[in-house]
Chain A
């Protein structure tokens, strides 16, 4: 891919770009389909159940059937809803989720854009999603949806700050915002960033769960309180919101892999013969599993406790982490 980026835009390379973007979309959709299956299976095993096993062999086609059902459903827009906003909200939510993947380096050769400020691009773009969620909540003209939207706005904005602050340590150590440089630096140091940046790593993991609205921070769609967030949405519009959520899991797990777990690097030098993409995949899956695992384990936090934790605990710790990193970098 790198070679194509250097060239001036022509027929061949633009075709390559379009096709590979479509391929990535295919991979992402495949991931979403099977991560839902995977999630349901994991939750099932952890909860003394079997999980989906009826549709297709081992239930592998369950999600496909669910998506088909959603596609076939009647498209309902509530009478009192703000129609244009209601229609555009799922799109606003989804676009950035897919857009952030452009800068994600899966291996040293498989990546779409080699942006100098890749990390900044990721953070900036992912911040837009909350707009889609708030718009959706507002446009539904439903009180429950509105509360859900307000919660998610408060939550995502509050947690974006510790999330960004926690990666500053990584940036300081690398001296670059480029995601490929970050991985190269880890190779150079011979150590993945989750060891020297342990505090940052922990903060990042917690803040990322809040960003993704996963348990124990799944307040936006707290089923038992708010009857799930986007409750006026049905059919494919609803599916779009769900798709956004899982694409973000894909993106966040990839980002964590790149920032803290050494991207495509093997854990030991002698294992270098195994291709980087496999290492990337393994680390990535471990994080996805971790996210689902928590879902089976934790109750939900309360909204004010969540805010307090974000502002009073995570943010000061993240700032402390920056300070320590900066001091160590100057001294050493």
Chain B
């Protein structure tokens, strides 16, 4: 055999994305594969960068709110709240009770909606077609609630500095109240339909294991952090809004793998429903939905950073102000972006199918990654 016909093997460079059904948007991953084993993965981001932070420097605080909708468009309510919360903290505003309860109800419903979307698309990534449709039916019910409140299904623009824009229409609270037990039953259905599936467990157990050390070093937050056994939830550990008034558990797992994250997300939905139920019980019959705020919002000179627990992790907002009605500099701590950094480490040595499972379990939204 001459040398030119000798068998040789080489690594293949594979471009996953930016147009790929499992990257959940315009995320690109350059992977080196040896057979089906990934030897190296380089994430490339920025295809959806819109420069929200820079744009915000020329907008007043109320005008920034719709821009936050478009960062994490799967859970726009949390983003709305994250921004107004920082401004309120800087201005030292007192928020009316009714507005606080409305905020908590929509924030927790949003968490359920966000996790539902994750549940459906994640199983679609794993090759199961039906759960997506089931999850979407239930998510649609929540979106209908938001639609009644704010007139939008995804980009709500609902929160305002000092309260919320619209009061709950008549009968809305009752409808949400009926929804809670319905949704609990649905989650049980998901468990019987999906969780026990042998194929699913084999696909997820022991895949994409994150250690506690890594989780902290990579600054992971949210479900990724809690899947390693660290009990850290800002709603409990640094309560904001009125979260200290509710009884709820912070679900954790110790395995740190994809299955742990799957279980935590499903349990978080139940806990969110518990919070919604309690909030509805305590909901004040009447009252203002907006605090007395000046016509032109001016933050005092100085800086502030506040963070909240969004469905995808800790979302934070830093504002540096020179006393004008526009921020001098605004910076968002975007959990999808921070969480995504661990991906190259997790997929190394795994095969292509596991890469999809791991990327899905991180739960990124590209609007948030790229900012």
Cross-chain contact B134 with A299 (CB below 8 angstroms): no
The residues of B that contact A143 with a CB separation of less than 8 Å are: 12, 14
Question: In the complex, which residues of chain A have a beta carbon less than 8 angstroms from the beta carbon of B12?
Answer: 143
Closest to A296 in B: B130
CA distance A295 to B128 in the complex (A): 8
A144 nearest in chain B by CB position: B14
Cβ-based interface call for A47 (8 A): yes
**Which candidate, B118-126, B217-225, B231-239, is the interface stretch facing chain A?**
B118-126
**A8 lies within 8 A of chain B by Cβ:** no
- A7 part of interface (Cβ distance < 8 Å): no
A202 adjacent to chain B (CB < 8 Å): no
Q: Collect the chain B residues with CB atoms within 8 Å of residue A227's CB.
A: 20-21
The answer to whether B133 and A49 touch across the interface, beta carbons within 8 angstroms, is yes
**Residues of the A chain whose Cβ atoms lie less than 8 Å from the Cβ of B127:** 215-216, 218, 222-224, 298-300
Which of A115-123, A192-200, A239-247, A302-310 contacts the other chain? A302-310
Q: Does A297 contact B (CB under 8 A)?
A: yes
Report how many residues on chain B are interfacial, defined by Cβ distance under 8 Å: 27
Q: Are A224 and B21 CB-contacts (below 8 A) given A48-B134, A298-B197?
A: yes
Type the 1/0 row for A97-141, where 1 means its CB is closer than 8 Å to any CB of B. Answer: 000000000000000000000000000000000000000000000
A147 and B22 within 8 A (CB): no
Q: How far is the CA of A7 from the CA of B21 in the complex (A)?
A: 57
Q: Are A43 and B129 in contact (CB under 8 A)?
A: yes
A225-B22, A227-B21 known; A302 vs B353 contact (CB < 8 Å): yes
Q: Which residues of chain A come closer than 8 Å to B1, judged between CB atoms?
A: none
Per-residue B-contact encoding for A190-224, CB less than 8 Å = 1, 0 else: 00000000000000000000000001101100111
Known contacts A46-B130, A47-B129, A298 near B199 by CB under 8 Å: yes
Please tell me if A301 contacts chain B, counting CB pairs below 8 Å. yes
Contact of A303 with B197 at beta-carbon distance under 8 Å, contacts A49-B133, A216-B127, A296-B130 already known: no
One digit per residue, 1 when the CB lies within 8 angstroms of any chain B CB and 0 when it does not, for chain A 260-299 equals 0000000000000000000000000000000000011111
A298 near B202 (CB under 8 angstroms)?
Answer: no
User: Is B183 in contact with chain A by the CB < 8 A criterion?
Assistant: no
B202 nearest CB neighbor, chain A only: A305
Of chain A, the residue at the smallest CB distance from B132 is A47
Q: Which of A146-194 contact B (CB under 8 A)?
A: 147
Known: A143-B12, A225-B353, A305-B202. A300 touches B133 (CB 8 A): no
Report yes or no: A224 in contact with B202, Cβ–Cβ below 8 A.
no
A302 to B258, CA, bound (A): 15
Q: Give the total of A residues in contact with B, Cβ under 8 Å.
A: 29
Name B341-371 residues within 8 Å CB distance of A: 351-354, 356
Q: How would you classify the secondary structure of chain A's contact residues: helix, strand, loop or mixed?
A: helix
Q: Is the CB of A223 within 8 A of B21?
A: yes
- Are the C-beta atoms of A303 and B36 separated by less than 8 Å? yes
With both beta carbons as reference points, the residue of chain B lying nearest to A49 in the complex is identified as B133
Contact partners of B200 in chain A: CB under 8 A: 299
Asked if B130 and A297 sit within 8 Å, CB to CB, the answer is: yes
User: CA of A143 to CA of B30 in the docked complex: distance in angstroms?
Assistant: 13
B59 interface hit (Cβ, 8 Å):
no
B203: interface (CB < 8 Å): yes
Q: Is the CB of B352 within 8 A of A147?
A: yes
Inter-chain contact A298/B353, CB cutoff 8 Å:
no
Closest to A215 in B: B127
- CB pair A225–B129 under 8 Å, yes or no, is no
Q: Do A48 and B128 have beta carbons less than 8 Å apart?
A: no
State A297–B193 Cα separation when bound (angstroms). Answer: 8
Q: How far is the CB of A36 from the nearest CB of chain B, in Å?
A: 15
Q: By the criterion CB–CB under 8 Å, are B128 and A298 in contact? A: yes
B137 part of interface (Cβ distance < 8 Å): yes
The distance from the CB of A230 to the nearest CB of chain B, in whole angstroms, is 16
Q: How far is the CA of A154 from the CA of B195 in the complex (A)?
A: 29
Contacts of A48 on B, CB cut-off 8 Å?
133-134, 137
Interface membership of chain B positions 4-21, coded 1 if the CB is closer than 8 angstroms to chain A and 0 otherwise: 000000001010000011
| Cβ contacts under 8 Å, A43 to chain B | 129-130
| Residue contact A225 to B130, C-beta cutoff 8 Å | no
Closest A residue to B121 by CB, please name it.
Answer: A224
What's the Cα separation between A23 and B3 when bound, in Å? 55
Q: Which residues of B contact A222 (CB under 8 A)?
A: 127, 353
> Which among B36, B124, B197 has the highest number of chain A CB atoms within 10 Å?
B36
Name the B residues within 8 Å of A301 (CB-CB). 199, 202-203
Of the A-B pairs whose beta carbons lie under 8 Å apart in the complex, a sample of 22, sorted by A's number, is A47-B129, A47-B133, A47-B134, A48-B133, A48-B134, A143-B12, A215-B129, A216-B127, A216-B199, A219-B353, A223-B127, A224-B127, A225-B356, A226-B352, A296-B130, A297-B130, A298-B128, A299-B197, A299-B200, A301-B203, A303-B36, A303-B353
A residues lining the B interface (CB < 8 Å): 43, 46-49, 143-144, 147, 215-216, 218-219, 222-227, 295-305
Other A-B pairs, 6, CB within 8 Å; known A147-B352, A302-B202: A46-B130, A47-B133, A223-B21, A299-B123, A301-B199, A304-B351
Q: What are the 5 closest A-B residue pairs judged by CB atoms, nearest first? A: A300-B127, A299-B128, A47-B133, A299-B126, A224-B22
